[in-house]
Amino acid sequence: MLLHMKESGGATIAELAGRIGISDEGARQHLLRMERKGWIRRRETRPTAGRAGRPAAVYEISNAGESFFPKRYDELSVALADILVASHGRGALEGALERISDAWVDTWEPRLRGKSLDERLTLLKDYYIPGDPFLTVERNGHVALVEHNCPYLNVAMQRPALCSITVNALSRLLGFRVYRHRRFQNGDGCCEFRVLNDQPVDLEQHAFALEASTEDS
């Protein structure tokens, strides 16, 4: 159904039902589920001139649904980073990463203001995406945020320096130094952002820095 909507630019319930050989009601139920998940959107069309009745609803792929179809954003992101370094030097890339980190902090800081460390960790489970089921808080003799499904994995595997954005932003948002104890790049199957709660961060003096192991990445 998604493929047909993509190819045709949108389709009605009757068109989709006929395309895959099910009843209109069966198609409607599938569409309702996809709409709830945010994969599609519904658009009401005006009746054709001279025809009475309710306008037909046309179902289209939403921005979220576009994720099911091939994209080349990863290649573009890597190319842009490399061109920035080639044209303006390593400092230009570091400056760009710092600005992105600042933007994350500006977005999250108001939500975390006045919260305890535990409350901040709980809220930051939504750091990458709302309701992220793959980001967990770990308390096992240490405190850490563990991400099992990095949304930027393909780019981060090729240019690990980009992960410095998260390390710096989390350090400022949590108020303690954060470092990556486990990394996708090392074959660990996750990134573990460990919080050193005995090393508070002076937010007035904090300066963006690349991770030591990624300075040449």
What tokens were used for 129? 């995406």
Regions of the chain short of the pLDDT cut 50: none
Torsion angle defined by CA atoms of residues 95, 97, 98 and 101, in that order, rounded to the nearest 10 degrees = 160
Distance CA 131, CA 25 (A): 31
Place of tokens 């203001």: 113
- pTM score above 0.75: no
Nearest to 58 by CA among 45, 69, 67: 45
Q: pLDDT tens digits, residue range 69-108?
A: 877 888 999 999 999 999 999 999 999 999 999 999 999 9
What pLDDT is recorded for position 69?
Answer: 84
Q: pLDDT tens digits, residue range 44-73?
A: 876 555 555 566 799 999 988 888 887 788
What pLDDT is recorded for position 52?
Answer: 56
Nearest to 94 by CA among 185, 217, 202: 217
Sheet holding 143-147, edge to edge: 135-139, 143-147, 191-200, 176-182
CATH numbers and ranges of domains, the chain = 2-68 (1.10.10.10), 73-214 (3.30.1380)
What pLDDT is recorded for position 54?
Answer: 65
